[in-house]
Amino acid sequence: MSLDAIRKVHAQTVEALMMELSHIALRLTSSEEQYRAMEVQIQKDAEAYGQQTSQGLTIEDLLQWQGKMEAQRAALRHVRVTIDHTADLWEQTKERLVEARQECKLLERVAERRQTAVRAAMARREQGAADEAASRQVSARGGGES
């Protein structure tokens, strides 16, 4: 595989990782918003439960409230796990992006060095050709004078 092809693949990898980070950020933001909304709802329900408790509850109502509140806490824990997992995924992807960018920079330096070496070789060949032409002209003049 040529250096240019490798550079293109690495550039595409960087772009793909940036897109992946963007999607992860959206998921993370959405999960955090969901978590905050659930916290607000749980707080409202806890206040409503407190009001109803002070007025007196039947056993059935008490069990319903407890079931509802436990389900809300379980759902909140699930969203927290999702947030933590997504945050970890964000960090891992960000690290991969940093590595991919470093590899791209390295490949750029290699390409620049190759181009510099090619230009230097061409300049040496041109100088050699110019020296050869000058040598022939000197030889031609010297040969004609004898």
Whole-number Cα distances in Å, 16 to 30, 35, 53, 91, 114:
21, 28, 54, 15, 27
Residue 146 has what pLDDT?
46
- Burial status of residue 82 (CB atoms within 10 A of its CB: 0-12, 13-18, 19 or more): middle
- Mean pLDDT over 40-58 rounds to 93
pLDDT by residue (tens digit) across 17-33? 999 999 999 999 999 99
Per-residue pLDDT tens over the stretch 70-101: 999 999 999 999 999 999 999 999 999 999 99
Work out how many domains the chain is built from and give that number: 1
In-domain check, residue 48:
yes
Q: Does 117 reside within a domain?
A: no
In sequence order, the 6+-apart residues with CB closer than 8 A to the CB of 20 are: 93
pLDDT above 80 (res 123): yes
73 found inside a domain: yes
Confidence at residue 145, expressed as pLDDT on a 0 to 100 scale: 52
**Residue (of 23, 29, 7, 32) closest to 100 by Cα position:** 7
Residue 89: CATH number of its domain? 1.10.287.1490
pLDDT, tens digit, 9 for 90 and up, residues 58-68 = 999 999 999 99
Structural domain of 93: 3-111
Residue 95 within any structural domain of the chain: yes
